[in-house]
Chains A and B, each alone.
Chain A
């Protein structure tokens, strides 16, 4: 896995080291990367870096180390989910450079090690790797993100072993209910999650559709998988909410992923004269549907799709057919937030990522950074590395991060903090892929500037 991390963060951009450090608060430390690729668990010693940025918050530094804090991190570096984790190496470098002089916790200075493990996009392996980090490496704190297939098994391991765990990048219902939690009844003792939920994405999509002149007929593409079953659920999913907002929803039924033919769905949408399409579709299935829809003369005015349209490469693969498709936006370079650690703004971090990797910004970047913000704030607030103290610090945490305010004191349930969503539409742009996700609806998060208003898809 480490070879991948190294490859993903290839240093191609002609940007000066100092300038880059100042931009991102992150460092390109080739020595560290080299060290990364030597050991299986990517353990690196932050004190290996000679240079560092000036501490922005006064929580770093402090001379000799009094001990070591180990932060575990499990992510899908390889496998089908790897696009989520492609910025991990970049994020690690930023954090390592920031903590190069150590972290001051309770008057002592600690060396911080990030131990990252590859889940290979497999829930079983994710659990095994989490177990290894907990029992063999003796981590003090676990961080995990990137879809329920990663967050849930890792969180379960931490819960069982009494290790504090902070997770993100999975709708909170998928994380909480997906692990057997019942809102109002279950409380997890060691595992905490910040992200948005279904109650956010549904009104976000509806808000975008309401800005368009349509007949309010919506077609739903809900596959027979964890996400599709929740989105299409007739009590908590899209159907009741969409109907309540004055739209009609045509749901032809669950279909299996990696579908080669969407004729039945297209026929049903045509019959209902649907002008809007929504759903949670895996990336390879959407182009199949979209091309077949065009062949069969079906072009809706709006297509707001979860999952398939997250990454710019997916839109690039669709080519011009991708213009006008819409999706939820959890984080973007235009979000008016900055890192509580380095002070770098969302735009600065995204630009630094592009400069270091040559790749376009993706939404997980902000959240991966925010995981470390919450973790370090929790350690500092706890004033010790005692697991219970750290856990209690997370429980009462309220912090402004690069993804906005993360507030565990006012979540929908005790273990969850929520971040706000915006609506975005893919447009042609001067970016590495030629397309960019432009924020066109900020009704749920008015602080984020919009880059335009939603426009109907043209055939």
Chain B
């Protein structure tokens, strides 16, 4: 029973990892941008949601509808002001720019909110669960809703990329930006939309993380590693691969923890390394955004 429960919890945690990873997957898939400030954007969004909740007394779930449009604007702003200057040039510029953004966000948050941890309080909902087999196999309502939202985001995104005109431009830009430009695609606006999507999804992940635990200004980078691993396991640029990557990582960790809590990270990282060795492009990976 313990093992079965561990796998279920692993899948549910995988939803969170996938939600974190979606934005990375998009920004890498479309513009080959590795955003080191990804985790900090998540924490920043959680702080904004927390400010909204404190000011209005409304539920954090409602804060999502306020924070996400803001995040999209932030994403467009960042792309126009910062990242358009570093996309398509030497990758080391990207690393410096996104790393600098990471430090800047952390310090702005520290200035604004001091060092104390905050949380997004969802009250009793966070403690409730569906009991499948007594207390032995349970599905927490909050982790379940987080998982459902993660899947929903991916469904919407893949519809957007697969069915719309901008989505086609995404894929074209991802395949070959120069040809896309020749075909009349405005690369810069595509990049701006892509980054808006990346920031919006990671903002969602940050809010859901804030509902589960506490966050403080410096927590961003720690959230980044699982997102990277999910993307790589699933395959760079593949959205459904990212979900699978998150779930595989989640299950590997909970099973590792069931053997010994000290093995949790080890098994997760081992699975990641094995995928890198056996299938470096990731399980679902092609060199394009699907």
Q: Say whether B117 contacts A297, CB under 8 Å.
A: no
How far apart are A33's CB and chain B's nearest CB, in angstroms? 16
Tell me whether A8 and B257 are in contact in the complex, defined as CB-CB below 8 angstroms, given that A254-B262, A291-B142 are known contacts: no
A319 to B213, CA, bound (A): 12
> Provided the pairs A261-B10, A263-B257, A288-B213 are in contact, do residues A82 and B110 lie with their beta carbons within 8 angstroms?
yes
Q: A288–B118 Cα gap in the complex (Å)?
A: 13
CB contacts under 8 Å to B, within A1-44, are 3-4, 7-8
B264 touches A255 (CB 8 A): yes
B116 to A267, Cβ gap below 8 A?
no
- Residue A233 is within 8 A (CB to CB) of chain B in the complex: no
State the total of A-B contacts with C-beta under 8 angstroms: 149
B212:A288 contact, CB within 8 angstroms = yes
* Interface size of A in residues (CB-CB distance below 8 Å): 48
Q: Which of A121, A224, A253, A311 has the most CB of B within 10 A?
A: A253
Question: Which residues of the other chain, A, contact B129 by a CB distance below 8 angstroms?
Answer: 295-297
Bound-complex Cα distance A259 to B13 (A): 10
Contacts of A86 in B (CB 8 A): 114-116
Indicate whether A285 sits within 8 Å of B213 (C-beta atoms), given known contacts A86-B114, A295-B129, A317-B117: yes
Bound-state CA distance A192–B159 (Å) is 65
Query: Contacting A292 at CB < 8 Å: which of B140, B226, B257, B261?
Result: B140
A83 close to B116 (CB less than 8 A): yes
Contact A4 B127 (CB under 8 A): no
Closest A residue to B8 by CB, please name it: A263
- Is the CB of A284 closer than 8 A to any CB of chain B? yes
Residues of A with C-beta under 8 A to B213: 284-285, 287-288
**Judging by beta carbons under 8 Å apart, are A261 and B115 in contact?**
no
Q: B residues within 8 A CB of A259?
A: 264
Please determine whether A287 and B135 come into contact, CB atoms closer than 8 angstroms: no
Contact partners of B214 in chain A: CB under 8 A: 283-284, 287, 314, 317-318
Rounded to whole angstroms, the CA-CA distance of A292 and B131 in the bound complex is 13
Q: Say yes or no: is A56 at the interface (Cβ < 8 Å to chain B).
A: no
Q: Is B215 an interface residue (CB 8 A)?
A: yes
Q: How far is the CA of A263 from the CA of B152 in the complex (A)?
A: 25
CB distance from A256 to the nearest CB of B (A): 5
8 Å CB interface, B119-148 against A = 119, 121, 123, 126-129, 131, 134-135, 138, 140-143
B119 is contacted by which of A265, A285, A287 (Cβ under 8 Å)?
A287
A264 within 8 A of partner (CB): yes
- Distance, CA A317 to CA B114, complexed state (A): 14
Q: With A121-B218, A255-B257, A283-B214 as given contacts, are A313 and B117 in contact (CB-CB < 8 Å)?
A: yes
* A288: B residues at CB distance < 8 A: 212-213
A294 touches B107 (CB 8 A): no
Q: Are A83 and B261 in contact (CB under 8 A)?
A: no
**Which residues of chain A from 271 to 286 have any CB-CB distance to chain B below 8 Å in the complex?**
283-285
Interface residues of B in 157-180 (CB under 8 A from A): none
In the complex, per-residue mask of A74-111: 1 if CB is within 8 Å of any chain B CB, else 0? 00001111110110000000000000000000000000
Is B265 positioned at the interface, with any CB of A under 8 Å from its CB?
A: yes
B215 touches A284 (CB 8 A): yes
B115, A224: Cβ atoms closer than 8 Å: no
Say yes or no: A8-B114 contact (C-beta < 8 A), given A264-B257, A267-B5.
Answer: yes
Please, how many angstroms separate the alpha-carbon atoms of A146 and B142 in the complex? 35
Known: A121-B218, A261-B10, A297-B135. A3 touches B265 (CB 8 A): no
For residues 51 through 94 of chain B, which have their beta carbon under 8 Å from a beta carbon of chain A? none
Max chain B C-beta neighbours (<10 A), residue from A224, A287, A317:
A317
A400 CA to B260 CA in the complex, in Å?
47
Minimum distance in angstroms from A412 CB to a CB of chain B: 31
On chain A, the residues within 8 Å of B2 by CB distance are 264, 267
Option from A85, A264, A285, A295 in Cβ contact (under 8 Å) with B138: A295
Q: A224-B262, A265-B261, A297-B135 are in contact. Are A260 and B115 (CB under 8 A)?
A: no
Task: Please list the residues of chain B having a beta carbon within 8 angstroms of any beta carbon in chain A.
Answer: 2, 5-6, 9-10, 13, 16-17, 107, 110-111, 114-119, 121, 123, 126-129, 131, 134-135, 138, 140-143, 212-216, 218-219, 222-223, 226, 250, 253-254, 257-258, 260-262, 264-265
Q: Which A residues lie at the B interface, using CB under 8 A?
A: 3-4, 7-8, 78-83, 85-86, 121, 224, 252-256, 258-261, 263-265, 267, 270, 283-285, 287-288, 291-292, 294-298, 311, 313-314, 317-321
Q: List 26 A-B contacts (CB under 8 A).
A: A78-B110, A81-B115, A83-B115, A253-B261, A253-B262, A254-B261, A258-B222, A258-B223, A260-B13, A261-B253, A261-B254, A263-B5, A263-B258, A267-B6, A283-B216, A284-B117, A294-B126, A295-B127, A295-B138, A297-B134, A297-B135, A297-B138, A311-B116, A314-B214, A317-B118, A318-B119
Task: For the A-B complex with A86-B115, A267-B6 known, give 18 more contacts whose Cβ atoms are closer than 8 Å.
Answer: A4-B111, A253-B260, A256-B262, A260-B13, A260-B212, A260-B226, A263-B254, A265-B261, A267-B5, A285-B213, A291-B142, A294-B127, A295-B128, A297-B131, A311-B116, A313-B118, A317-B119, A319-B123
